[in-house]
Amino acid sequence: MTSPRARFSLLGGYYFGLVALLYLPIAILFLFSLNSGTLLSFPLRGFTLDWYTKLFAADAVLRAARNSLVVATGSSFAATVLGAMVALLTTRYEFRAKNLLLALAVLPLIVPFIVLGVALLLLFNVFHIERSLWTVGIAHTVVALPYTVLIVTARLAGFDAHLEEAAMDLGADYLTTIRRVIFPIIFPALVSAWLTAFTVSFDEFALALFLAGTTPTFPVYLFSQLRFANRLPIMIALAVLLMLGTLTLVILAERIRRIE
Amino acid sequence: MNRARLFISLLTTLTVLLVACGGAATPAPTAMPTVAPTEVPPAELTGSLTVLDWAGYDAPDFWIDFQNTYPKVTANFEIGASDADIYAKMKAGDQADIFHPYTGWLQFYVDEGLVEEIDTSQLKNWDKVPDNFKKVGQINGKQYFLPWDWGFTSILYRTDKIPEGVDSWAALMDPKYAGHISMWDDGPGAVTVSSYIHGWDETKITPEQLTQAQAEWTAQRQLNLFYWAGEPELVSGMASGDVWAAYAWQGAYATLLGQGVPVAYANPKEGRNSWIGVYGIRKGTKNYDLALKFLDAKLGVATGNNVVNLFYYGHSNGDVMKGITDPTLKQAFSIDDPQILQKTNFTPNLTAKQRDDWTAMWAEVKAAP
Amino acid sequence: MLDRRSAFWLLLFPPLLWLGLFLLAPLALMAAFSFRADLSGELLQAWTPTLAQYARLAAVGSYWRLLGVSAGVALVVAVSATALAFPVAYFLAFRAGARAGLYLTLLLIPFWTSYLLRVMALKLMLGSNGVVNSFLLYLGVIHEPIALLLYNRFAVVLTLIYVWIPFAALPILAALQRIDLALFEAAADLGAPPPAQFWRVTAPLSLPGLFAAFFMVFIPTVGEYVTPLLVGGSQGMLYGNIVQDFFTKAANWPFGAALSMIMLVGTLALAALALRVVDLRQLLQ
């Protein structure tokens, strides 16, 4: 029988092996962001930090990155809130259309983004709504919703309602109960859902291409710059920087949490 | 619990801040009433235009003359991913003032009433455009489009992998190169190639010919490594040695030459193909005069030089083409071959039925087992 | 004072409005488009409904076959990703301790880097002149580059599994985190060794998470088109690519809409069938 230590290293090894595999392409990208050649192929031509310095002069690139951040933050927030609402409804209430609501919330998973993009384009056209970051954000909220619903529902379903009933017996109205009883308990799931929704939105391309109008998000901008071989390294430098930035933030957050 | 509150309030503040900043910074296109050019000096003219263009053309290099002449006018760009995408967006009511289709797709805009006639008398650079280029932008006798960028299509191949060279479009279907061919992902393009190989009239493809083409391209799929949708894909495929022969525009040829990859651009016996990109003004635009100025500036020399040097595409301003000195580019455009345009087949405009039939044919090729 | 009953309407209204307006309405428009003869004329004028698009669809056997192939690919990807994600979720739930949040985020961060760029880097590794092949050739393990790794259906499946594992881990993790640790103590008290604890406590209670993960991966993968475009080559095309082509290359929205409707209905039917076999709500209880 394997000792707990051996089991840990097996599982841990599996996990870290997977992480290594996931970060391998990023390591390659990092390598090429320092490469003086512009083609994405070996052999490497020479070392340079040019791409990073040029990046900060590239207004359009930074603007596109900021657009992506704005859209991702807004849509992930909306998707988490709406998803939590649906999760509450399906786990704490009984009503006839319950299954229908759940199915509706999960429906975006089935719809290819191309179809949803064109369909939303038509809809916005009917209402004469100009394409903008808002239209992209709306689409992203829709497609992130299945994930937030599933994650929060999984958590909510796991603990029964007696805590809430106790709170209400003590005189709290439902809104207070949500705030002080349910919310703290599902908080980890909410963070998880928010992270997922953010991830879904940040790199989303198909919908953004259709619905962004004149303000491109980063993936759309990247796509538009791919034609220029000499612009590619700057885009890679930005992608690497963004990732390093989030990595740093996350590690910092962990440090702070450990201090508490 | 406190941590949770802190996190949530931080998140909310962040969201609100970013959304507010995002909203405030998004440029809102304001349509200024058009002002007669004689009243306002170019440097003082204000307003904004929206252009529906292909990826990359939004870079200031490609409208530098306009930016220099009218520095206070803002140009906003929407990206279209393909001719079909641009056409569909215009049909869906896109409010762009100017759009950029390519030969083959022009008839639809006229038939569907989506494009304004161009008042060429207002264009100072119009006489620099060769006549055969001007004709390309004329539909039903009226000048609806302004020719801008152009290029060839031919077979691009690695000289080290195919030392015997390529002299026919049939090379794209040659079993000798199995697993190393890359065709453009486009149905009408495929039909065009078939018409060259078999000597058919491209404007009068019969259903039997289409069926034959479908069978041939279905068989070709076994030899094809990947269908390329954009030049970067093709360039890296060829640079890595995975692709030996490909249907390609000369932009890819010049890029690879510049990077030192051993490639050659064929002169097939059936003749090369040539395509021309044009700009059109949306019917009903409120910025007609400003749009005309934009188009005029697009024909400028500085803009044209950038198209040639950065994209390796041709430009419709004759002076720009005559001024090319770079040997790589001269080779790419076959500038030293005065006969080249005689040996070239220009892409005719599709009818709606041809578009539907030929694209459906290609989808069936790709879906075949 | 808001009681539970009134809170119901407050909770129901926003998501319902959002989904109705931005999901159902566009889809209904799309469905209506599938009954349109062609794209000529004003885009939003009324048109006489016709079954022409569906008739054309029915006549082409290879589209149906491709839909079946895509569903098969989705099945393989979903099963593999779920299976491979389970140890990850297990590690995060039971071995990572306080660091679980950090480790989870670590898994997701690569997805904030452009997918396009990451796959370009992957192609660099997997191509016939790529890192993997050069390395194996150098070692003498192979004498000719392996073409199997790129530009075919196998590459599509591999890449999709690779991409889905971190996401599949999420619902499994959520399910595992719900397991009351006291259950393990109880089992141990009753004399169950760790393997038995796993099979009789952990595994059954993780089932809702496994099913959720499976569906979360399976359903969108049926319509997947980005990965086949990047690594599938000519042979790796899936149904989603054909749909995408009709929208973005052929400007033939009515036919594209018909193709999408067939796929939507088919996937919905599959999901409904599966849910009949496995009552999800019961599992979530």
Task: Return the partners of chain A (3 or more C-beta pairs < 8 Å).
Answer: B, C
Q: How many domains does chain C have?
A: 1
Relative to beta strand B145-158, strand B272-282 is antiparallel
> Residue A1: pLDDT band by 50, 70, 90 thresholds?
very low
Nearest-neighbour CA in chain C from B9: distance (Å): 20
Average pLDDT, chain A: 83
- Measured between beta carbons, the chain A residues lying within 8 angstroms of B77 are 214
Residue C32 lies in a domain: no
Whether residue C200 is contained in a domain is answered as yes
Q: Say which residue the tokens 């809102």 belong to.
A: B28
Name the band, by pLDDT with cuts 50, 70 and 90, for residue C84: very high
| Beta-bridge partner residues of B264 | B157
> What are the residue boundaries of the structural domains of chain A, listed by start?
66-226
Quick check: is B27 in a domain? no
Distance CA A177, CA B76 (A): 49
Residue B265 and residue B326 in one domain: no
Phi, psi of B299 (to 5 degrees): -85, 0
pLDDT tens digits for range B294-328: 999 999 999 999 999 888 889 999 888 888 888 87
Tally the domains of chain B.
Answer: 2
Q: Residue B15: inside a domain, yes or no?
A: no
Asked if A110 and C267 come within 8 Å (Cβ–Cβ), the reply is yes
Q: Name the pLDDT band for B123 (thresholds 50, 70, 90).
A: very high
Rounded to the nearest angstrom, the minimum Cα separation between C197 and chain A is 14
Contact C242 B221 (CB under 8 A): no
Mutation target to probe the B interface, by most B beta carbons within 10 A, among C29, C39, C116, C227 is C39
Residues B83, B176, single domain; the answer is no
Residue B26 lies in a domain: no
- In the stretch 29-68 of chain A, residues with CB closer than 8 A to chain C read 29, 32, 40-42
- Straight-line distance from the first to the last Cα atom of chain B, in angstroms, rounded to the nearest whole number: 58
Higher-confidence residue of B33 and B269: namely: B269
| Confidence tier at B18 by pLDDT (50, 70, 90) | very low
Same domain for B212 and B358 = yes
Q: Does A183 touch chain C (CB under 8 A)?
A: no
Residue at C140 is within a domain: yes
Report how far apart, in Å, the C-alpha atoms of C106 and of each of A18, A237, A247 are.
11, 20, 8
Q: Are residues B242 and B256 in the same domain?
A: yes
Q: Per-residue confidence at A41, pLDDT binned at 50, 70, 90?
A: low
pTM as predicted? 0.84
Residue C137 lies in a domain: yes
Count residue pairs from A and C with Cβ separation < 8 A.
270
Q: Is residue B60 part of a domain?
A: yes
Calculate mean pLDDT across residues B81-104.
88
Q: Does A80 touch chain B (CB under 8 A)?
A: no
CATH number for C213? 1.10.3720.10
What is the Cα–Cα distance from B67 to B87, expressed in whole angstroms?
Answer: 27
Is the distance from CB of B117 to CB of B144 less than 8 angstroms? Answer: yes
What are the residues whose beta carbons fall under 8 Å from the beta carbon of A179, sequence distance 6 or more?
Answer: none
B103, B163: one domain: no
Average pLDDT, chain B: 86
The model's confidence at residue A42, banded by pLDDT at 50, 70 and 90, is low
Smallest CA–CA separation between C59 and chain A, in Å? 22
Residue of A32, A105, A198 with shortest CB distance to C19: A105
Closest C-alpha to C222, from C58, C73, C60, C62: C73
ipTM of the complex: 0.83
Closest C-alpha among B75, B64, B66, B74 to residue B123 = B66
Nearest to B11 among A77, A183, A215 (CB): A77
Residues B329 and B363 in one domain: no
Give the orientation angle of helix C115-126 with respect to helix A232-259, to 10 degrees.
110
Question: Would you say residue B171 has pLDDT above 90?
Answer: yes
User: Does residue C75 belong to any structural domain of this protein?
Assistant: yes
Residue B20 domain-assigned (yes or no): no
Report the pLDDT averaged over residues A109-122. 82
The pLDDT tens digits of the residues spanning B332-346 come to 777 777 777 677 888
User: What is the mean predicted confidence (pLDDT) over C192-197?
Assistant: 84
CATH domain A66-226 topology: MetI-like fold (1.10.3720)
The range of the structural domain enclosing residue B186 comes to 153-273+349-367
Q: Which pLDDT value is given to residue A227?
A: 67
* Buried-state track B130-149, b at ≥16 Cβ within 10 A, e below 16: eeebbebbebeeebbbbbbb
Range of the domain at C171: 63-284
Residues 6+ apart with CB under 8 A from A20: none
Which of C1, C2, C19 is the best substitution to test chain A (most A C-beta atoms within 10 A)? C19
Q: What CATH code is carried by the domain that includes residue B199?
A: 3.40.190.10
Flag if B360 and C250 touch (Cβ within 8 Å).
Answer: yes
- Taking CA–CA distances from C45, the nearest residue in chain B reads B92
C100 touches chain A (CB under 8 A): no
Q: Does A73 touch chain B (CB under 8 A)?
A: yes
Q: For the segment C9-68, what is each residue's pLDDT rounded down to a tens digit? A: 888 999 999 999 999 999 998 898 889 887 777 777 777 888 889 998 888 889 999 999
Which of B86, B111, B356, B362 has the most C C-beta neighbours within 10 Å, making it the best mutation to test the interface with C?
Answer: B356
pLDDT over 70 at B352, yes or no: yes
Which chains lie within 8 Å of chain C at 3 or more CB pairs, if any?
A, B
